[in-house]
Structure 1
């Protein structure tokens, strides 16, 4: 009998000692980080609302209760009973019964009403029919991504359970080494923006944090070939942790499965969906531009299948000696500061990912309160000594001023923006400005993936700023459904009609003008001196967006908008930069994040910034807070302990 099987037998005995005599446990298994308890008496489990909580506390495990098939009411009768328990105003749109696990997936417009106060309605459902309810939200804006991901995972349930059982046994395996050390190896995004990737390793475990591309530098992949990464074989990685879905952090996660990785990806649920959306688009853009895609769509599906979603604040075992906790990073939907607790109190490391320290219209500000942190790996995108962004209110006023001036001269405003994050932030500003009469009412055309990304935002309101979440689901005032917003879905003909039409605002991908429909808008509207191109986000070095910011007006538009290969155009539209809408903290925000950290770290590695930015921030933190700071290069390894 293996060590894990012995451990499960022991856990089963401990559970049987804790539960009442009238409850039978038929099996105990690991599925990923969770301990799954099978029982013939799910109704009795549900009758004691605190029983599962007490077991989880005693065993220090995340516990899921699954009914033995013999305890389940037939699906037809169960559906009738379930619907009778749930209030009609919850808006149930679908019930899906899975007999292999005894779960019923309930899709509803208002999941909170299905859950009930402290889970009371869920317990009542189990008491009546034996099935274990799982609740998901019906997207208020239809999302093909959410629908496809849910449908795919439903079809792959059996294989996914096999994956989870294998991962669970790997997490809870016996520790093999008596050594104690912690190392971080930098595989990308050091003294550069993008290509984020790090290896966190111990004698027992190797975890890859992020695996992204570098904007404006085709083919620059993280240094995955080195021995610390895939050089020893992809199968030697224990886990992948993804901080958020932007391509400079996620683009090459599916590539790992091409190289033979078959383990878990830990991230939040919205990041999983956005990763699928953005990486599939990444392949599509590569094909349209005549480049060989680095992986296939089948590897994107493998990444989704292997993802284990975690919620903010959940402490989760991901290896025998590593616990992971996600915290809100305030950057984009589902973005996380990732906290690793290593060993039995041995060491704690936090990776900021990309952060925004102050509240924005979309998100609450980044969390920086942890039980312990000895080392912080900190993004430095705006870490330069002069990288102070305009106050958000002033930024909004500046944007409204540009829009009013452009409208008065009969032009159009074109805003290149990331589909995820900045687009939704700008949508909220425009919706309020038109509602309050600060700018004229006019169409706001959304091109590229922006509408789909917006639909995903409304599917996960619990990740949005508190007051925005309440507007969407309590006051029936979803700002993303305002009449002004128009989804461009008819391609080039519709773009031509918009270009020939009246004053309007266009928000289009890509945010750094590296391909995508923004190239078509430049072809259509770029020659108009009455129109304005407005930058609202960071433009990395080497990107066309940065070059235009720096004064380029001769623009390559290969193939976009009906042009031929090698075509260029001369930009005659105005160019404006409106700071303050970035999803990144500025220099002051980064310093405040560290200054107010509780506890404050002993060491800080400044990464994900141009060379001058990381060095400026590293120097300032050293002088101001007397901590050890570093501005590492790629392929450096730091040993802690």
Structure 2
């Protein structure tokens, strides 16, 4: 059946189910959604359960859009919206799109614009005809979020054309009688970095993650040149589990070499991905390294990105559905679950995940409707990879801060901008608020402030307690006055020169560049200062050398020169803040998984850890396991 035949069939089914007084002017695919255009959006709004009923019967994601001729003028629409929506919602802006009939309402409290079970939204539609969409006004101004929203509005016509093309490709008919599922390993097997997998059926080819190895240039990119991947233009979609560069750093490169398909991820992953990719090529340019792609390719990724919320079941090919679930690793991180064929096979990719409640996130989801194979990380899968409890880690951090500040020193914390920084920030904010440590400034240098602003844009992706604290108690720890953004070289130098006791969070987390190096040069030789590692230090990085006890370290000084830094400051490591599951949590995840998987594939860990975790799972649970090498193709069904 052709796409046009599929659409005609859907139109007939929709018309047969609609009340006689509701008419539709057109039906079309836009990305994974089926869009219904009507001259009577108010009648759809009156029948609150009508769209739900249609979506359930048709098994499609439905969107109803008004025909442009029935829309109220924007000025009058704004007046009507202000009468319907409570003023405490804090509406900051309205954006009207005549082509889609949508009005995007930016508000500080989106829930008040949406109303109970969407009642307020339906009332808005009944009054003005426009279809309202609500986005949160970031409480911390984020240049990334602002620029992305503006860019998407400016390119709405091109994006609509892209979505229509994607939609027709997704909903094409099944052409092959054969039924099989294969997995090809393109990176991150028996290693950490350059995550990339190809999931294939006779109809569909899906790339799961496309990362870069950030700890070194050797073996830095996935095996994208192998026959299974080519031609790149015929890959149907890319699914991103989360925004870290070792999972998303090379997605723009795909568009450079002919890929024109969609990228599926959560809204926070889209925003953080753009931030990290832009920083990646900026740092590469400053350090004189080869830039893998231009910023124009990052913009191309944004135009093709389709965001999904946790739990949304979405068609991504004629024989494949995708659902993203919370992975507990960083903001918006996902366990990607694929339902292949009509009940043929189910496979989930955990990406990086944390099976424990943290200050930021709920534990990773371990319950699925059906599951046959799970591809899971083994970063800390070794038999001795046990992390201390969160409470012990927090006490350790508070004690280090207390001792250093009482010694009139500075506490330097090299950290990744996304995830670890925000965890540490919440612990420090509480310690200062409860007077467990001195009331000193906590400086945020590098991308940490911007990444934190993105966290405040998407509080619905934080854990229940933190959401309740932000939404109902009006207390957002990220907005505390103790946090100070370092926004210039001059300010950084002033902090260094003052030698006043303070806490500094700075990127990068493994000391392979970034503003943390400026602090290390000045603070490193002084015994009263402390540097504490809160994240994984990969072999070969400067962070790993200092962690091992090196007292003199060579660093790049620009212009082809190196200099030696003396390390007399106290060096400590606080384990327990990791966004990865430790050995106990990995095994507990498998034990509690429902239903229990038939096969488990371990990856994203060094060779020993991948092998150790795989054999331990087999011994404990009698589940078939394997720890493949890169470039293997495994037939799943």
* Contact 1:499-1:525 within 8 A present in 2 as well: no
Aligned equivalent of 1:129: 128
Alpha-carbon deviation of 1:331?
Answer: 0.2
* Contact 2:409-2:499 within 8 A present in 1 as well: no
Distance of aligned partners of 1:350 and 1:506 in 2 relative to their CA distance in 1, 3 Å threshold: same
Residues 1:328 and 2:326 are matched in the alignment = yes
Deviation digits for residues 357-393 of structure 1 (CA, Å, limit 9, x no counterpart): 0100000010010011111101000000000000000
Residues 1:176 and 2:172 are matched in the alignment = no
Task: Structure 2: give runs of 5+ residues left out of the alignment.
Answer: none
- Aligned mates of 2:421, 2:374 — CA distance in 1: 29
* Contact 1:337-1:351 within 8 A present in 2 as well: yes
The aligned runs of 1:5-404 (5 Å cut-off) are: 5-218=4-217, 220-229=220-229, 232-404=230-402
Match of 1:594 among 578, 590, 595: 590
SS of residue paired to 1:567: strand
Aligned equivalent of 1:411: 409
* Contact 2:496-2:519 within 8 A present in 1 as well: no
SS of residue paired to 1:187: strand
* Contact 1:449-1:509 within 8 A present in 2 as well: yes
SS of residue paired to 1:25: coil
Deviation digits for residues 214-272 of structure 1 (CA, Å, limit 9, x no counterpart): 1221251011110112xx22111000000000111011011111111110000000000
Aligned equivalent of 1:632: 628
* Contact 1:215-1:543 within 8 A present in 2 as well: no
SS of residue paired to 2:189: coil
* Contact 1:496-1:524 within 8 A present in 2 as well: no
- Aligned mates of 1:76, 1:435 — CA distance in 2: 46
* Contact 2:106-2:136 within 8 A present in 1 as well: yes
* Contact 1:488-1:495 within 8 A present in 2 as well: no
Alpha-carbon deviation of 1:564?
Answer: 7.7
Superposition RMSD in Å? 1.2
* Contact 1:24-1:41 within 8 A present in 2 as well: yes
* Contact 1:352-1:378 within 8 A present in 2 as well: yes
Aligned equivalent of 2:514: 516
- Aligned mates of 1:69, 1:612 — CA distance in 2: 61
Alpha-carbon deviation of 1:189?
Answer: 0.6
Deviation digits for residues 327-378 of structure 1 (CA, Å, limit 9, x no counterpart): 0000000000000000010011000000000100000010010011111101
Alpha-carbon deviation of 1:554?
Answer: 2.4
Alpha-carbon deviation of 1:473?
Answer: 2.6
- Aligned mates of 1:424, 1:89 — CA distance in 2: 28
- Aligned mates of 2:408, 2:188 — CA distance in 1: 43
* Contact 2:496-2:522 within 8 A present in 1 as well: no
SS of residue paired to 2:561: coil
Task: Structure 1: give runs of 5+ residues left out of the alignment.
Answer: none
SS of residue paired to 2:488: coil
- Indicate the larger mover: 39-48 or 71-80: 71-80
SS of residue paired to 1:507: strand
- Aligned mates of 1:497, 1:241 — CA distance in 2: 42
SS of residue paired to 1:566: strand
Alpha-carbon deviation of 1:547?
Answer: 1.8
Aligned equivalent of 2:471: 473
Alpha-carbon deviation of 1:496?
Answer: 4.1
* Contact 2:410-2:499 within 8 A present in 1 as well: no
- Aligned mates of 1:496, 1:435 — CA distance in 2: 26
SS of residue paired to 1:557: strand
* Contact 1:325-1:340 within 8 A present in 2 as well: yes
- Aligned mates of 1:498, 1:139 — CA distance in 2: 31
* Contact 2:187-2:195 within 8 A present in 1 as well: yes
Aligned equivalent of 1:447: 445
* Contact 2:413-2:506 within 8 A present in 1 as well: yes
TM-score, normalised to structure 1, is: 0.98
Alpha-carbon deviation of 1:519?
Answer: 1.1
Deviation digits for residues 309-329 of structure 1 (CA, Å, limit 9, x no counterpart): 001001100000110000000
Deviation digits for residues 560-616 of structure 1 (CA, Å, limit 9, x no counterpart): 7xx982122121111101100000010000001111000111111110001111111
Distance of aligned partners of 1:205 and 1:576 in 2 relative to their CA distance in 1, 3 Å threshold: same
Alpha-carbon deviation of 1:435?
Answer: 1.0
SS of residue paired to 2:179: coil
Residues 1:617 and 2:587 are matched in the alignment = no
Count how many residue pairs are aligned between Structure 1 and Structure 2: 636
- Indicate the larger mover: 455-464 or 397-406: 397-406
- Aligned mates of 2:94, 2:223 — CA distance in 1: 46
Aligned equivalent of 2:565: 569
- Aligned mates of 1:6, 1:257 — CA distance in 2: 31
- Aligned mates of 1:541, 1:628 — CA distance in 2: 31
- Aligned mates of 1:492, 1:292 — CA distance in 2: 29
* Contact 2:611-2:627 within 8 A present in 1 as well: yes
- Aligned mates of 2:597, 2:327 — CA distance in 1: 17
Deviation digits for residues 82-109 of structure 1 (CA, Å, limit 9, x no counterpart): 1111110100000111111111010000
- Indicate the larger mover: 123-132 or 208-217: 208-217
Alpha-carbon deviation of 1:492?
Answer: 4.6
* Contact 1:523-1:557 within 8 A present in 2 as well: no
- Aligned mates of 1:498, 1:482 — CA distance in 2: 23
- Aligned mates of 1:569, 1:88 — CA distance in 2: 57
